[in-house]
Amino acid sequence: MAFPHTRLRRLRQSGVLRDLVRETELRASQLVYPLFVEHGLDRRTPIESMPGVDRLSINHAVEEAAEAAGLGVPAVLLFGIPAAKDDEGSGAWDDEGVVQLATRAIKEALPDLLVITDVCLCEYTTHGHCGRLRDDGSVDNDSSLELLARTAVSQARAGADVVAPSDMMDGRVGALRAELDAEGLADTPILSYSAKFASAFYGPFREAADSTPAFGDRRAYQMDPANAREAVREALLDVEEGADMVMVKPALPYLDVVRAVREATLVPVCAYNVSGEYAMVKAAAAAGYLDERAGVLEALTGIRRAGADVIVTYHAKDVARWLR
The reply to whether 249 belongs to the active site is yes
User: What does each C-alpha distance from 87 to 133, 217, 318 come to in angstroms?
Assistant: 8, 17, 38
Q: How far is the CB of 312 from ligand PBG (least distance, A)?
A: 8
CB 210 within 8 A of CB 123: yes
Other C-beta atoms closer than 10 Å to the C-beta of 154 total 23
Cα–Cα distance for residue pair 79/318, rounded to 1 Å: 20
Cβ proximity to ligand PBG, 57 vs 211, nearer residue: 211
Q: Which of 107, 249, 282, 317 is catalytic?
A: 249
Q: How far is the CB of 278 from ligand PBG (least distance, A)?
A: 7
**Is there a cis peptide before residue 268, judged by omega within 30 degrees of 0?**
no
CB 281 within 8 A of CB 318: no
How far is residue 255 CA from its own chain's centroid?
15
Helix (H) or strand (E) run with residue 12 in it: none
Q: How far is the CB of 303 from ligand PBG (least distance, A)?
A: 14
Cβ proximity to ligand PBG, 65 vs 120, nearer residue: 120
Cβ proximity to ligand PBG, 185 vs 278, nearer residue: 278
Cβ proximity to ligand PBG, 139 vs 239, nearer residue: 139
**Dihedral (C-alpha) 238, 240, 245, 246: value to the nearest 10 degrees?**
30
Q: How far is the CB of 166 from ligand PBG (least distance, A)?
A: 4
Cβ proximity to ligand PBG, 207 vs 309, nearer residue: 207
Strand stretches in the chain, DSSP E = 31-38, 44-46, 54-56, 75-81, 114-119, 132-133, 139-140, 162-165, 191-196, 245-249, 269-273, 310-313
In the bound complex, which residue of the shown chain has the CB atom lying closest to ligand PBG?
Answer: 205
Cα–Cα distance for residue pair 247/322, rounded to 1 Å: 25
The reply to whether 107 belongs to the active site is no
Radius of gyration, CA atoms only, the chain = 20
Cβ proximity to ligand PBG, 88 vs 118, nearer residue: 118
Long-range contacts of 259-263 (CB under 8 A, 24+ apart): 259/306, 259/307, 260/228, 260/229, 260/231, 260/232, 261/194, 261/195, 261/231, 261/232, 261/235, 261/307, 262/306, 262/307, 262/308, 263/307
Q: How far is the CB of 27 from ligand PBG (least distance, A)?
A: 22
Positions in the binding site for ligand PBG (CB under 6 A): 118, 120, 122, 130, 166, 202, 205-206, 211, 274-275
Q: How far is the CB of 41 from ligand PBG (least distance, A)?
A: 26
Q: Which of 107, 196, 282, 317 is catalytic?
A: 196
Q: How far is the CB of 249 from ligand PBG (least distance, A)?
A: 7
Cα–Cα distance for residue pair 181/41, rounded to 1 Å: 35
Cβ proximity to ligand PBG, 108 vs 224, nearer residue: 224
Q: What is the set of active-site residues? A: 196, 249
